[in-house]
Amino acid sequence: MERRGAGLAALGALGRRLLWALPAYAAGLLGLGAGALVLALALYAGWRRRRRARERGLRLAARLQREEEAAVRAAAAAGLGAARGELPAWVSFPDVERAEWLNKILAQAWPFFGQYMEKLLVENVAPSIRASNTHLQTFTFTKVDMGEKPLRVLGVRSHPGAHKKQILLDLNISYVGDVQIDVEVKKFFCKAGVKGMQLHGMLRIILEPLLGDVPIVGALSMFFIRRPTLDINWTGMTNLLDIPGLSSMSDTMIMDAIASYLVLPNRLLVPLVPNLHEAAQLRCPLPRGVVRVHLRSARDLRSKDRFMGGLVEGKSDPYAVLRVGTQVVTSRVIDDNLNPTWDEVYEFVVHEVPGQEMEVELFDKDPDQDDLLGRMKLDFGEVLKARVLDEWFPLQEGGQGRLHLRLEWLSLMSDASKLDQVLERNRSIVTKPDPPSAAILVVYLDRAEELPMKKPGKEPNPVVQVSVQDVTRESKVIYNTTAPVWEDAFRFFLQDPVNQDVDIQVKDDPRQSSLGSLSLPLSRLLDAPELTLEQPFQLQRSGPGSRLYMKLVLRVLFFDPPENGAPSPPGQPDPPASTGGTQRPTHASPHPQFGTEHVLRIHLLEAENLIAKDNFFKGVVRGRSDPYAKVRVAGRVFRSRVIKEDLNPRWNEVYEVIVDNVPGQDVEFDLFDKDIDKDDFLGRCKVPLRRVLSSRVVDEWLPLEEVKSGRLHVRLESLAPSPSAALLEQVLHTNSLLQPARGEELSAALLSVFVDRAADLPLRKGSKPPAAFASLAVRDVSVKTKTCALTTEPVWDEGFSFLIKRPHVESLELQVKEEGGQPLGALSLPLPQLLASEGLALDAWFPLAGGGPGSQVLLRAQLGVLVSQQAEAGAGGASPAGGDAASPPAEAPGEEECGAGGLRQRLLPPDSHPEPAEGPLGRLQLTLWYHRDERKLVAIVHGCRKLRPAAKELPDPYVSLVLLPDRSRGTKRKTSVQKKTLNPDFNERFEWDMSLEEASRRKLEAHVKSTLSFMSREKEVLGKLHLDLAQVDLSEGGTHWYELREERSSP
């Protein structure tokens, strides 16, 4: 055998060598020369070498990643001694508990859970399915395998319950399982099943009631507050849907039904003690309240209808879908309108607050597939807190425009003392499509006994139908019994409980014959204690002992307005504006929300432990990802740059957006891997905007959701405008220090403008008044008001806000135009006028240039300085420890200090050292600072004063910087050249990537130089500065003047 193996090896080696001769044979056969053969071999050798180097690099990267992951896990396991940035995400959220202990229990118990599920499906679920449909009488489960991947709990959060006998737990669960369930319907030779499933969402578990005996907890109630993300990999679904009775369904409908079954008001009740009396109430408890939603209007929606290949832009046909758990309503469609008005009212039952949300989606109605125009979400906890919310809500997730909603919280009252007041208020509300409700009825259907048998020897299949007016609810079917137990509950809205009845029919499935009926006037409930009836009811047209055990609970829906008073009843027109006189107002009258906006500063720092999406050789070799982030807030979308091949990217980008205090808004972060075709999803996270506004600064590592690993480091800061210019210089100075290398300049102020009205606009086309609107612009940002038709005194009553970078030099440009675009007048308002005004505000009539002789506009403009946390800290330590503050000396005659240079000097912080007297070689002004977030040493070269020329001609100075002891090109920086001046202003920023410890060991050497001539490469040194950074407080970022020395002098 050994000889045979050696012979085969020799033959193999000979064959490989003969293959090397194949290219030479092919070249001779094709008539190619030796040069072509050598070129081909060289290309092959180069390709092979490059491929081996790439594979070696990928193996090295995979090994480094494994080592890094092991190091991070070891540091996390070592406890809280590691740095905060290296700890797992649960450490950053004190109210979320790490659930690794629970995951270990689930992993060990998962095989036994699979045995339980197999027994449950085969012994309980399969018989119910066979009895539910005559076509499914041969339905069986042929395989039930829950797989090896258990459910994972990503975090546990505990909440106080509504009362002392209740504990609430929220579990963030993620299941990516290899489950396999096969079913068969032998009658139709049909096989189908499930092979793989994903489930992600927030599961709430209620431990209630708490008992004074073991097991302490009486039952567990489980449900999803919001619809979870569910994805099922079906097998044979087409065959299953071909069965009669199922052909009208689709896989999407089945998925929706499964997902809805998991969401409120549906609950899974697991009793832990026998004969639990509160089982029905726990399975369907009384709601916490009812929210009445007035869907009023929307504005500035996106146009989705386009014609002629997109060349002609049309409008949209919007409609709204409102969703609260399984409660879904749809508004009517408004054709061809980007500012639709619905004026519709809907009512939703609220079970869990806070936690339960309302989601509103706007769509454009199309013949094929409707286009999404935007969506918004609102937690009902905000409505409960405010009692009434009447706001314009910004559309998020890619949408633009705003949605006007009014939401009222209706409390449930257990007495009828205020029923007449509720009915009287409801009569004043004009609503559609349905009148407002005055009460809610909950029917707890427990059981029945001694039902009649319509056929001798055959027990019925009872089902109950409960009706109030034209609304009918139906219970589940209980098969083959005269004493069914339903333990079900139904809810009804009542418009007039005094004159309404509840009708109950007990039927034998398939609902052809009646087993008994009952009609009960609801006025009986109004006289009952706590509006509740619980007793057995004798069925009519049934057996002599046939009784139905029920509990009926009525609750009056009472609107309790807030203490400051509620707005006028909805559905009634607003009172018209007074037009009784000719006296014009002297001041603008903005709405109460004007000027209350905040500026949200979003610092996208870094991410770590992202998923590698770029894999090679069918996943054998793990690559990396090219991550980028999308940030969504207040209808705005920001996109970061792409970081190539990095699972721990650092962006260090800053975005700013104007936000208001409307509840229900989130700051959303989505991470993607940039690819040539379709970008891969790397995870998402979000922060409630209300949390940032209340705490002002949120600086956290956020765990990424819907993925296996990864977290994102962001810093969010809410900046409230301050009507004082005292800290403006400090703000500008701090912004220059915080300014990232990429991105727009940070904003120093917020400008709010309320355009009230105009007067005496010029007539157009003879005596015809214009249809006028106003456009406002600051820099490259422009907005416009609505158009007021055919009047010389239009009233707009609209407010706008602008981000201001440099208040000293910017201005507000306003133009009043006719609908066709012809100008009717213009106004230019320099912002320095606002800085010089009391309260940084102007409220008056302003003349319009280029209009009529009396054309003017009434507006209010107010400026608010955006003071960040760092600016406050810098201002707090601004005063010197001792000594008197000196004022800057006056400029000497002949010194150059004009326009831009003088302005830049005024932007320096108030605590800067005053400009010193003239030195031998002049002075250099520097700011040195270490940026901890970006881990960079920052130097800002402001300018020089009183340089000494080496010749008769004025020099062309610039400043060069180098970090010693390294004199390589990587540490060198230099400013631009200023022409012919002894007092140059640079205001240029330079950065070096290094740690604070390394920066403290460096020395900064600065040379002020001048170019001798255009043709010469020689430089004239005007002065030198040598700084030991260990002697500089880099954490404070101070600005100082430094004396320049001779080039040959020692440091």
3-class secondary structure for 524-550? HHHHCHHHEEEEEEECECCCCCCEEEE
pLDDT at 88: 44
User: What does the pLDDT average to over 442-460?
Assistant: 85
Locate tokens 């207040």: which residue? 634
Structure tokens at 185: 């319907």
Going by C-beta distance under 8 Å and a sequence separation of 6 or more, which residues neighbour residue 656?
599, 600, 601, 602, 744, 746, 747, 803
Rounded CA-CA distance 283/658 in Å is: 44
Average pLDDT over the chain, rounded to whole? 79
Helical H segments across 393-434, by residue range: 419-427
The residues that bridge with 803 in the sheet, in sequence order, are 750
856-870, 886-900, 1000-1014: range with highest mean pLDDT:
856-870
Q: Can you tell me the distance from the alpha carbon of 682 to that of 181, in angstroms, rounded to the nearest whole number?
A: 30
More confident site: 292 or 565: 292
Residue 594 pLDDT > 70: yes
238-254: average pLDDT? 54
Tell whether the model's pLDDT for residue 918 goes beyond 50.
Answer: no
SS3 87: coil
- What 3-state class would DSSP assign to 780? coil
Task: Identify the bridge partners of residue 372 per DSSP, sorted by sequence position.
Answer: 363
Range with lowest mean pLDDT among 36-45, 388-397, 483-492, 578-587: 578-587
Q: Which amino acid is at 995?
A: S
Helix (H, G, I), strand (E, B) or coil at 810: coil
Name the one residue in this structure whose structure tokens are 């290219």.
23
The kind and range of the H/E element at 277 are none
CA–CA separation, 964 vs 977, rounded Å?
Answer: 23
Most confident of 71-75, 280-284, 360-364: 360-364
How does DSSP classify residue 128? H
3-class DSSP assignment, residue 203: strand
Q: Are 868 and 731 in contact (CB under 8 A)?
A: yes
Between CA 445 and CA 281 the distance in angstroms is 10
Query: DSSP for 468-513?
Result: ETTEEEE-----S-SS-EEEEEEEEEES-TTS-EEEEEEEETTTTE
Sequence letter at residue 291: V
Inter-residue contact 193 to 240 (CB < 8 Å): no
DSSP character at residue 578: P
Q: What's the one-letter identity of residue 533?
A: L
Q: How many CB atoms lie within 10 A of CB 63?
A: 10
Q: Tokens in use for 965?
A: 């002891």
Q: List, in order, residues 6 or more apart from 644 with CB less than 8 Å away.
A: 626
Rounded Cα distance between 650 and 663, Å, is 31
Q: What is the bridge-based pairing of β-strands 289-299 and 547-559?
A: unpaired
Which of the 8 DSSP states describes residue 585?
A: P
Question: How many degrees, rounded to 5, is the angle at CA 560 between CA 554 and CA 565?
Answer: 165
CA dist 921 and 898 (Å) reads 22
Whether the CA torsion 603, 606, 611, 613 is positive or negative: it is positive
Rounded Cα gap, residues 182 and 146, in angstroms: 11
Give the chain's length. 1051
pLDDT single digits (tens) 473-513: 888 888 888 898 887 888 899 988 888 999 999 988 776 78
Indicate if the pLDDT at residue 136 is higher than 50: yes
What is the enclosing helix (H) or strand (E) of 297? strand 289-299
For residue 379, give both structure tokens: 């937690």
Per-residue pLDDT averaged across 639-649, rounded? 89
Token readout for 1046 is: 């001779």
pLDDT for residue 222 is more than 60: yes
Cβ neighbours, 10 Å, residue 396: 21
Whether the link from the prior residue into 215 is cis, omega within 30° of 0, is yes
Beta bridge partners of 408: 292, 388
pLDDT in tens, 596-624: 889 999 999 889 989 888 766 555 556 78
- Give the angle subtended at the CA of 161 by the CAs of 158 and 164, to the nearest 5°: 120
Compute the distance between CA of residue 1037 and CA of residue 929 in angstroms, rounded to an integer.
4
How far apart (Å, rounded) are the C-alpha atoms in residues 800 and 753? 5
pLDDT in tens, 325-356: 778 889 999 988 888 889 899 999 888 877 78
Whether the per-residue pLDDT at 886 is higher than 50: the answer is no
Asked whether the predicted pLDDT for residue 408 surpasses 50, the reply is yes
Report whether pLDDT(897) > 70: no
Q: Is the pLDDT of residue 690 over 90?
A: no
Pairing of strands 711-719, 666-673: unpaired
Instruction: Provide the angle, in degrees to the nearest 10, between the axes of the packed helices 869-876 and 728-738.
Output: 120
Give the model's confidence band at 775: pLDDT under 50 very low, under 70 low, under 90 confident, else very high: very high
Among 3-7, 205-209, 985-989, the range scoring the smallest mean pLDDT is 3-7
CA-CA distances (angstroms) from residue 568 to 101, 411, 428, 575?
A: 54, 19, 11, 10
Instruction: Give how far Cα 120 sits from Cα of 113, 117, 914, Å.
Output: 10, 5, 83
